[in-house]
Amino acid sequence: MLAILTENQIFTPGQVCQSCMLADASGQPRWHGGQLYCGRAIGKLTDKQPEQYQCVMGFRVIKVE
């Protein structure tokens, strides 16, 4: 599951990505093969943290299992 983080809130991708020109046809982030295509990977500080990405709109996207 993907989630969008801001400084003080957590959103579902559907709440944010629908207005992004890089989202797929269903308004979701372009996530394929375990990689976010509309952003870049951000390194994890510890192994316990979820995978993190920075989308082109500036939001932090995390993959939560």
pLDDT of residue 11: 93
Q: pLDDT tens across 24-59, in order?
A: 889 889 988 878 888 898 877 677 778 889 998 889
Distance (Å, rounded) from C-alpha 30 to C-alpha 7?
A: 23
Segment 10-32 shows an average pLDDT of 90
pLDDT of residue 62: 87
In terms of Cβ atoms closer than 10 Å to its own Cβ (0-12, 13-18, 19+), residue 55 is buried
Work out the pLDDT band at 9, boundaries 50, 70, 90: very high
Torsion sign, CA atoms 11, 13, 19, 21:
positive
Distance (Å, rounded) from C-alpha 63 to C-alpha 59?
A: 13
pLDDT of residue 34: 78
- The pTM (predicted TM-score) of the whole model is 0.76
Token pair belonging to 42: 């951000």
